[in-house]
Amino acid sequence: MSARFIVMEPSKIGPQHITLLEGYLLALLKLDLPQRGLKLVYRADPSSHAALSDDVRARVPLEPIAVIDPEERRWVAKGFQELGAIRAALATMGPDDILLITCLTAPALFLLELGQALIADRRVVVVLHSELEALFDPGLRSPKTWGFWAYRWFRARRPSSRLGIAVIAPFVRKELETSFPATFPPGNVRLLNFPVSPTMADAPAPEGPPRVSFIGYKTRFKGFEVFARAAAALADEPLAFECVGGGQIESVPDGTTRPFAPGLGFLEEVAASALAVFPYQQGYVVTMSAAALDAVATGVHVLATRRPCFQALAEEFGPDSVTLFDTEAELQAILRDRAFVARVRAGAAGRRGQLANSSFGPAATVRAFDAMLAEFAGPVNGAVENGAMGEAA
């Protein structure tokens, strides 16, 4: 009987994180795991499996688990449920099985870190996301928040932990190793790149004035008010300011909404943008914006503040794909430059072409998993030799 490579998503439902999940599963399918004596399985809520593409869903069997919707924000209850699902998975694991947990709430992460005996010598890796922000911002650590539990996990973490950890972008790993070398020495943090596939290559050019889009949720960190003020200040410009998300397009600043165009989904509506604006004001020190990666995938030019995640994108893709700004006045001046807007609106195909050889391209994710499988052919978890853990870029 083959050993299993278990991709487990105990935290998200439906289309949540589906770009990451689909990309990880596609990368693993390309590695032809049966030739390595491994069977790929997906442990998740059935709605998450249903949100995968037809091809991936047909090729990756589901082992269903119950998942509390994160939108309910029941962090402690959800953490215990996730830990229970992980315990159940560990109980079924053989000595050659691999368990990759693609997302975990901070309470569950903390409890799993404390439960080293549960892991024993099993091969277990957790992919870390926005919970890492609490390590850098004390304002996120108040009781009854995810940041409180994330910081407790950090304080409990030791380099020799049996719980393997991975991050989705090179700049995140570099920042962890630089800021906290005692906890995250070189070789302790794996890199499993966020897989971004170029999409919308055949999308027709949108009609009407150039769209300037704010993508995703209007959270307090993301500076929506900056976007709204720019829309008001540039009302005399031939630009259409819109918010894309939640199955609808919202016009700014008048607030009128319309559903996505018939037959078009979220990425198609993003692809219709000339520019995607990310006026983020806080956070994203060690978190990659999924909304920004959606813009990159569709070839839309990114216009963003100098948060570390956007600086990383600017370094990766250059000024043809990413423009950074420091002030609202600078943002508005850039948007008033009609030649600039026309140029970036016409350059989507070239920007999509940059993805193939980037650290966010699908090939980089395949290399990352190949490196992880090579590592697991040797020592189990814990610190390994520098560069051996999921090196891909």
Residues 52 and 24 sit within 8 Å (Cβ to Cβ): no
| pLDDT, tens digit (0-9, with 9 covering 90-100), for 150-201 | 999 999 999 999 999 999 999 999 999 999 999 999 999 999 999 888 776 5
Q: Tell me, yes or no, whether 229 and 179 share the same domain.
A: no
Whether pLDDT at 124 is above 50:
yes
pLDDT value of residue 218: 85
> What pLDDT is stored for residue 201 in this prediction?
56
What are the respective helix, strand and coil percentages of the chain, to the nearest 5? 45, 15, 40
Q: Do 239 and 177 lie in a common domain?
A: no
- To which residue do tokens 């870190």 refer? 113
Interacting residues of 300 by C-beta distance below 8 A, sequence separation 6+? 213, 270, 271, 273, 274, 275, 276, 348, 351
Place of tokens 């720019």: 230
pLDDT band per the 50, 70, 90 thresholds, residue 1: low
Do both 127 and 215 map to the same domain? Answer: no
Average pLDDT over residues 342-367: 87
Do 366 and 339 belong to one domain? no
Q: Which two tokens stand for residue 108?
A: 């569950």
What pLDDT is attached to residue 338?
96
Q: Identify the CATH number of the domain in which residue 101 sits.
A: 3.40.50.2000
204 found inside a domain: no
Question: DSSP state, 210?
Answer: P
Residue 148 lies inside a defined structural domain of this protein: yes
121 pLDDT above the threshold of 70:
yes
Residues 161 and 217 in one domain: no
| Residue 114 is assigned to a structural domain of this protein | yes
Whether 220 is covered by a domain: the verdict is: yes
Which residue bears the tokens 């059935």? 46
Instruction: Confirm if 327 and 305 have CB atoms less than 8 A apart.
Output: no
Would residue 201 count as lying in a domain?
no
Given a cut of 60, whether residue 391 has pLDDT beyond it is no
Average pLDDT value over all residues in the chain:
89
186 and 224 assigned to the same domain:
no
Give the pLDDT confidence of 289-339 residue by residue, as tens digits: 988 988 988 899 999 999 999 999 999 999 999 999 999 999 999 999 999
Mean pLDDT of 107-126: 92
Residues 370, 322, single domain; the answer is no
Both 184 and 264 in a single domain? no
Judge residue 222's burial from the number of C-beta atoms within 10 Å of its C-beta, 0-12 exposed, 13-18 middle, 19 or more buried: buried
- Residue 200 counted as domain residue: no
Same domain, 173 and 222: no
Q: Is residue 371 part of a domain?
A: yes
Specify whether 125 is located in the same domain as 17: yes
Name the residue range of residue 319's domain: 211-357
For residue 349, is it within any domain? yes
Per the document, the length of the chain is: 393
Does position 378 have pLDDT exceeding 90, yes or no?
Answer: no
pLDDT value for 339: 96
255 shares its domain with 341 = yes
pTM: 0.86
Q: Does 188 share its domain with 216?
A: no
Number of structural domains (the chain) is 2
